[in-house]
Amino acid sequence: MARVALSSDHADIPLRQAIAAHMTAKGWDVVDVGPTTDASTDYPKHGQAAAQLVASGDCALGVILCGTGQGIMMAANKVAGIRCGVCSDTFSARMIRQHNNANMLSLGARVVGKGLVMDIVDAFLDAKFEGGRHATRVDMIEG
């Protein structure tokens, strides 16, 4: 399977490690670029590091986490070519891939529990871009 960039800030290391193990068990090649200690760190640099791996083509997709998922998502979206959305449910995670051709998923570690997080990650990774009328809209975003 494809390579997936994974990162978080300092507050989400145990959840990030659980996600890495889950994705690896499903056959994904995980590139974890997040911090290794719980010392305070800045989420923007970790979101951008993962986004750069995706934008460069080194990784096909990315999954990032912070407390709400919002800040790290904003940082990732600053990287050209990244389309990252925050999701708290499986429907949204599936739809950002199918309709928006999202290449990164952001999660709020303080928002969504561990069991649901794994379902959201699976929904995102398993979905495929539908193209068609959605491609025109994605092109408008990239514009």
The 10s digit of each residue's pLDDT in 13-53 is 999 999 999 999 999 999 999 999 989 999 999 999 999 99
Number of domains in the chain: 1
Q: Which domain holds residue 22?
A: 3-142
Which of 66, 84, 87, 134 is labelled catalytic? 66
Q: In the prediction, which pLDDT does 82 show?
A: 97
Residue 99 known to be catalytic: yes
Per residue in 107-121, pLDDT tens? Answer: 999 999 989 999 999
Decide: helix, strand or coil at residue 34.
coil
Average pLDDT of every residue of the chain: 93
Q: What percent of the chain lies above the pLDDT cut of 70?
A: 97
- Nearest-5° angle of CA 99, CA 4, CA 23? 100
| CATH code for the domain in which residue 58 is found | 3.40.1400.10
According to the model, what pLDDT value does residue 140 have? 67
Using alpha carbons only, how large is the chain's radius of gyration in Å?
14
What's the mean pLDDT in 113-140?
Answer: 86
What is the pLDDT at residue 17?
96
pTM of the model: 0.94
Would you call 59 a catalytic residue per the annotation?
no
Q: Which of 10, 22, 84, 99 is catalytic?
A: 99
